[in-house]
Amino acid sequence: MTFLNFFISGISLGSIYAIIALGYTMVYGIAKMLNFAHGDVIMVGAYVCFYATSRYELHPFLGVLIAMIVCTLLGIIVERLAYKPLRQAPSLAVLITAIGMSYFLQNTALLLWSSNPKVFPSIIGRGAFRLFDGELSISHITALTIGACLVIMAVLTLFISKTKMGKAMRACSEDKGAAQLMGINVNATISMTFAIGSGLAAVAGALLCSAYPTLMPTTGALPGIKAFTAAVFGGIGSIPGAFLGGLMLGVIEIFAKAYISSQLSDAVVFGVLIVVLLVKPAGLLGKMTQEKV
Amino acid sequence: MTMRRLINLKRVEARRIYLTYAIVIAAYIICQVMSSTKILSSSMRGMLVPICAYMVMAVSLNLVVGILGELSLGHAGFMSVGAFSGVAAAVLMQNVIPFAPVRLAIAMIIAAVFAAAAGFIIGIPVLRLKGDYLAIVTLAFGEIIKSILNNFYLGVDSQGLQFSMLSDTTRLLPGGKLIIRGPMGISGIQKIATFPAGFILLMIALIIVFNLVNSRSGRAFMAIRDDRIAAESIGLDITKYKMMAFVMSAALAGAAGALFAMNYSTIVANKFDFNTSILILVFVVLGGQGNMLGGIIAAAVLTILPEKLRSFSEYRMLLYAVVLIVMMLATNNAEIKEFLSRLNPFKHKEAD
């Protein structure tokens, strides 16, 4: 039963990683850039949700909705101001700009909300389902996280495969130039991708802080890097890959904490990533592109 | 050897190399004079050695990013390996070699060897990958090195070196001394790093890198950077050259780490995290990839800038972020570049 408990908390943590990783992987697939500021959007989302629920005493779900709207706008603004002018620039310049943006968001948060950690109230309370005479307990937030992740995955997959915008996104990730020739508004598509990714980051922020309730301006940084690792693990650019990578990373991390050593769990997670990339250089579900001369 | 090679170089290139040496030497002399005549404030004097260490880091990373064309996001890991092995070596040699500069030099050499070994071990898997995947794996290794050093205990007693992982189970004999104490790092370090030592290390790093870049191997690095497939098709051993650049870069980073660590009384593994790797990458990118002098200047400016912004206290890191974004936009966006060149009075006259 302890094994099953660990497994479920691993899946729950993995679900959060998966939601964050979706943002990384979609942006990478379409704009071919590593958006290092994504982790800090999570933090902004969590703060907005925190203030909406604790200061203005709104219903937690309304708080999450407000956080989603704020983060979506933030994502669009960041893209418009910092990344759009660099569409033609070398990728390293875009990477540094993204890192600059990450510092900017962290330090703005530091000024606005101070570095004192805030205790985030769980958006769904601290209760738990008890199964098998209480041997297996699944907290409500765990169940909600896993459910939210599944819903998001299903909706996003439908969106990408069935809608016109989704088709435009697939076309842009395949070949931007050709997509433009077919009458697709590439800039709007990229903005849309950032908007979706950032909106999801707000959800991830609320779920993350409900499970691990300390909220600080640097809260988003490490989950951001982990989720990025998850995206690469599953094959960056691939949406099912982000899902699979996120879940596996979460389970590995919790198991490493439980059975190996809590201090070395990060080392184990990154070690597994390296091994996977050696065997499958484009990640678990990534497409290996043949180079043409 | 160096001279003949430099004479054979293209004029422009040779001039740039001499200019780099000249500026570094001139800057050193000016700083020395200013610090001996007390013009330099004591806080600035304290920053001279870290600045030298960061400059060497910039040169070292420039070899990988600018010359070889691969992105490394874990360079602080090598610095960390160098810092810990170098300081541990210096502590062990404390009674054997009482003369501090020699001890420092040997510690830096040992640090370079350890970091090079780490670079080699990491290089085997890393260099099979390309582009963003290579970058993420270097990031992963940086984090792994940090995790391991955070849980590493090393002590010395009459029976020799004892080490353990996770918790302190070294069981030292009486009179033994614990050197590396896991998350507490190393404390009570003798501050033997000096500004002249930093200057000499920087000069050595520059001489090594310039000679390497302008050799057969250096041309191979650049060929790989410009077109990997073409380079492979003319028979260059890609893995060998990548490994050569990677190991050399790691060794320089290790020496810089040792220099850096011995300027402080305490050093912990968390100092060398992802943010430090990024900081060094920022030096390289802002200074211009492949441009050693640019990287050196960027390292100096970006280390001094946050200190000088202290009067803005709370806003300084925010300002730093804004400067970073604006610099990247200004140097990479065609429209903004054009706008700036219109503002430049010298260019304007030419256009008329």
> What does the alpha-carbon distance between residue B242 and residue B324 come to, in Å, rounded to a whole number?
30
Q: Where are the domains of chain A?
A: 2-225
Contacts of B14 (CB under 8 A, 6+ apart): B6, B7
Contacts B285 to A, Cβ<8 Å: 92-93, 96
pLDDT of residue A141: 85
Q: Where are the domains of chain B?
A: 49-312
Q: Does residue B183 or residue B88 have the better pLDDT? A: B88
Flag whether residue A107 sits within 8 Å of chain B, measured between CB atoms. yes
Span A209-226, mean pLDDT?
86
Flag whether residue B64 sits within 8 Å of chain A, measured between CB atoms. no
Taking the CA atoms of A206, A210, A211 and A216 in sequence, report the sign of the dihedral they define.
Answer: positive
pLDDT of residue B6: 54
Span B147-170, mean pLDDT?
77
pLDDT of residue A159: 92
* Cβ-nearest to A96 among B135, B274, B285: B285
CB contact under 8 A, B143 and A267: yes
pLDDT of residue B205: 92
| pLDDT, tens only, A74-100 | 999 999 888 888 888 888 888 888 988
Span B135-143, mean pLDDT?
87
Residue A129 has pLDDT above 90, yes or no: no
Q: To the nearest 10°, the Cα dihedral for A268, A266, A239, A140?
A: 110
> What does the alpha-carbon distance between residue B292 and residue B78 come to, in Å, rounded to a whole number?
19
Q: How far apart are the CA of B126 and the nearest CA of chain A, in angstroms? A: 8
Mutate to test the interface with B, among A78, A84, A274 (most CBs of B within 10 A): A274
Flag whether residue B320 sits within 8 Å of chain A, measured between CB atoms. yes
3-state SS of chain B is CHHHHHHHCCHHHHHHHHHHHHHHHHHHHHHHHHHHCCCCCHHHHHHHHHHHHHHHHHHHHHHHHHHHCCCCCCHHHHHHHHHHHHHHHHHHHCCCCCCHHHHHHHHHHHHHHHHHHHHHHHHHHHCCCCHHHHHHHHHHHHHHHHHHHHCEEEEEECCEEEEEECCCCCCCCCCCEEEEEHHHCECCCCCCCCHHHHHHHHHHHHHHHHHHHCCHHHHHHHHHHHCHHHHHHCCCCHHHHHHHHHHHHHHHHHHHHHHHHCCCCCECHHHCCHHHHHHHHHHHHHHCCCCHHHHHHHHHHHHHHHHHHHHHHHHHHHHHHHHHHHHHHHHHCHHHHHHHHHHCHHHHHHHC
Flag whether residue B344 sits within 8 Å of chain A, measured between CB atoms. no
* Cβ-nearest to A108 among B278, B318, B334: B318
Cα-to-chain-centroid distance, residue B16: 21
Structure token digits, residue A106:
């962290």
CB contact under 8 A, A273 and B332: no
Nearest CA in chain A to B72: A92
User: Which B residues in the span 87-116 are in contact with A, Cβ-Cβ below 8 Å?
Assistant: none
> What does the alpha-carbon distance between residue B223 and residue B227 come to, in Å, rounded to a whole number?
6
Q: pLDDT band at B4, cuts 50/70/90?
A: low
Residue B347 has pLDDT above 60, yes or no: no
Q: pLDDT band at B351, cuts 50/70/90?
A: very low
* Cβ-nearest to A97 among B140, B317, B328: B328
- The one-letter code for the residue type at B253 is A
Question: Which one, of A112, A136, A128, A132, lies nearest residue A50 by Cα?
Answer: A112
CB contact under 8 A, B285 and A273: no
Flag whether residue B136 sits within 8 Å of chain A, measured between CB atoms. yes
User: What percent of chain A shows pLDDT beyond 70?
Assistant: 97
- What separation in angstroms does the CA of A181 have from each of A30, A87, A89, A176, A178? 16, 17, 21, 9, 5
| pLDDT, tens only, B320-334 | 788 888 888 888 777
Residue B352 has pLDDT above 60, yes or no: no
Flag whether residue A229 sits within 8 Å of chain B, measured between CB atoms. yes
User: What percent of chain A shows pLDDT beyond 90?
Assistant: 28
pLDDT of residue B10: 67
| Torsion angles phi and psi, residue A137, rounded to 5 | -120, 130
Q: Are A33 and A98 in contact (CB under 8 A)?
A: yes
Mutate to test the interface with B, among A81, A277, A278, A289 (most CBs of B within 10 A): A277
CB contact under 8 A, B141 and A293: no
Span B91-105, mean pLDDT?
82
The pTM (predicted TM-score) of the whole model is 0.85
| Torsion angles phi and psi, residue B289, rounded to 5 | -65, 130
Question: Which one, of A20, A11, A22, A12, lies nearest residue A236 by Cα?
Answer: A22
| pLDDT, tens only, A181-196 | 999 999 899 999 999 9
Q: What is the average pLDDT score of chain B?
A: 83
Span A4-14, mean pLDDT?
88
Span A168-172, mean pLDDT?
90
**Domain B49-312, CATH:** 1.10.3470
Q: How far apart are the CA of A85 and the nearest CA of chain B, in angstroms? A: 6
